[in-house]
Amino acid sequence: ELKVEQNPLFLSMQEGKNYTIYCNYSTTSDRLYWYRQDPGKSLESLFVLLSNGAVKQEGRLMASLDTKARLSTLHITAAVHDLSATYFCAVGGRGGSEKLVFGKGMKLTVNP
Amino acid sequence: NAGVTQTPKFQVLKTGQSMTLQCAQDMNHEYMSWYRQDPGMGLRLIHYSVGAGITDQGEVPNGYNVSRSTTEDFPLRLLSAAPSQTSVYFCASRSGGTHAEAFFGQGTRLTVV
């Protein structure tokens, strides 16, 4: 059974600081997604990671994937208040299974 | 381009009532899914469809029915609502292709009293 764990689940950080959050999954997968959710809103796609060593960057966020370790990281550089949100990773089963499993999400608060 | 549209946005039901949550997408996506989001639980898959006429169960299917008669629509039916079904429900769609990302609707906040 595929399980996805995120840590930390809550993070409060100062503007300008850097931090890395982690997403571990339990079984082999061929794709991993990162989503952002603002309070009371829907989910917004951030990154799709498909292969070992994949690295993608968008603004102050950079995501990477290590399929051998079953680990993805989301690195925040020089945080700003607008990054405050909940971040989810989601992992798809092997062979393109539609059964996407989400982590519990990490609530990020960036303080001025 | 509307994307994924869910209706209603908010709903209050009494225990035992039935209702249908609507989901429509205008992107001609093959795959559609329903998730529920509960505090501290992330999103959990209820049912999904890989094309018109084809549906399957997700992680938490009990108490919910779905059908997919057209590519565009994927309604979720609660036959007899229970307080445990109080949640925020999200519909998502994505194109065919193993790795395509999913696009989510705005959600339906359901309260069962």
Q: What is the pLDDT along chain B (113 residues), one digit of tens a residue?
A: 679 999 999 999 999 999 999 999 999 999 999 999 998 888 999 999 999 999 999 999 999 999 999 999 999 999 999 999 999 999 999 987 767 888 999 999 999 99
Q: Across the interface, do B99 and A103 touch by the CB < 8 Å criterion? A: no
Task: Indicate the pLDDT class of residue A51, thresholds 50, 70 and 90.
Answer: confident
Question: What pLDDT, on a 0 to 100 scale, did the predictor assign at position A5?
Answer: 96
Please give the average per-residue pLDDT across A43-71, as a whole number.
93
Please give the average per-residue pLDDT across A26-38, as a whole number.
91
Q: Contacts of residue B57 in chain A, CB cutoff 8 Å?
A: none
Chain A CB within 8 Å of residue B44 CB:
yes
- From CA A103, how far away is CA A50, in angstroms rounded? 17
Question: What pLDDT, on a 0 to 100 scale, did the predictor assign at position A58?
Answer: 95
Alpha-carbon distance A47 to nearest alpha carbon in chain B (angstroms): 9
Q: Contacts of residue A95 in chain B, CB cutoff 8 Å?
A: 98
Interface test with B, best of A100, A104, A107 (most B CBs within 10 A): A100
Closest-CA residue of A relative to B51 is A98
Q: Across the interface, do A102 and B106 touch by the CB < 8 Å criterion? A: no
Alpha-carbon distance B34 to nearest alpha carbon in chain A (angstroms): 11
Question: What pLDDT, on a 0 to 100 scale, did the predictor assign at position B1?
Answer: 62
Q: Contacts of residue A101 in chain B, CB cutoff 8 Å?
A: 45, 59
% of chain A at pLDDT higher than 90 = 80
Q: Across the interface, do A98 and B99 touch by the CB < 8 Å criterion? A: no
- From CA A46, how far away is CA A36, in angstroms rounded? 7
Closest-CA residue of B relative to A94 is B98
Q: What phi-psi label fits residue A78: left (phi over 0), alpha (psi between -120 and 50 degrees) or beta?
A: left
In single-letter form, the type of residue at position B7 comes to T
Q: Find the CB nearest B42 among A88, A92, A95.
A: A88
- From CA B102, how far away is CA B95, in angstroms rounded? 8
Closest-CA residue of A relative to B40 is A104
Cα dihedral sign for A66, B44, A10, B10?
positive
Contact B100, A33 (CB under 8 A): no
* Distant-in-sequence contacts of A58-63, Cβ < 8 A, 24+ apart: A63/A34
Question: What pLDDT, on a 0 to 100 scale, did the predictor assign at position A96?
Answer: 60
Q: Across the interface, do A43 and B50 touch by the CB < 8 Å criterion? A: no
Contact A31, A65 (CB under 8 A): no
